[in-house]
Amino acid sequence: MNKKILICAIIVIVVLGIIFIPKMLKNEGESEVKFKTLDLSEAPKKIQELVPKYLYEERALACKVDNEVYIIVTRGEKRTEGYSVSLDKIIKVKNENNFDIIAHAKYKDPKPNEMVGQRITYPVVVAKAELDRLPDKIKLEVEYDQ
């Protein structure tokens, strides 16, 4: 009877190890970065001066101003109102020497038959991240909000 319980316990431990160890290894070196989203008017003057250079591009970039790291996500030029961008989360991924980040952004587009203003817009979001230094690379991951 004791051998059956011992064998069952070993099988359970092995199965749990097979399930959980790959998940733990996959997330090794990744951590979520805390951040605060700011209105462009709240951002430092240097950020406000930098943003117009990137408004026509769809990208994510990082800047360091006064020992604070800011993440900026732009959507490019849109021909109508109704487009927006928000920052969902920032993931810090260790690399060989430093770290990279993945900016997870949510894009919202106007619905096909929605009435929107006919005005060119440049959706942008600025976030102050809790990072000490700039990342080596930034990857932009986009999810469209329905």
Q: Are 142 and 80 in contact (CB under 8 A)?
A: no
DSSP 3-state assignment of 56?
Answer: coil
Contact of 142 with 65, CB cutoff 8 Å: no
Mean pLDDT computed over 28-52? 91
**pLDDT value, residue 22:** 64
pLDDT for position 95? 86
Bigger pLDDT: 10 vs 126: 126
Which residue from 74, 146, 75 is spatially nearest to 111, judged by alpha carbons? 146
Is the per-residue pLDDT at 25 higher than 60? Answer: no
Between 13-17, 75-79, 95-99, the lowest mean confidence (pLDDT) is in 13-17
Where does the pLDDT of residue 27 fall: very low under 50, low under 70, confident under 90, or very high at 90 and above?
low
**What is the per-residue pLDDT across 85-136, written as a single tens digit (0 to 9) for each?**
999 999 999 988 889 999 999 999 999 898 999 999 999 999 999 999 999 9
Which of helix, strand or coil describes residue 18? helix
Which residues are CB-neighbours of 37 under 8 A, at least 6 positions away? 86, 87, 125, 126, 127
Longest dimension (CA), the chain: 78
Name the band, by pLDDT with cuts 50, 70 and 90, for residue 12: confident
Average pLDDT over residues 36-54: 94
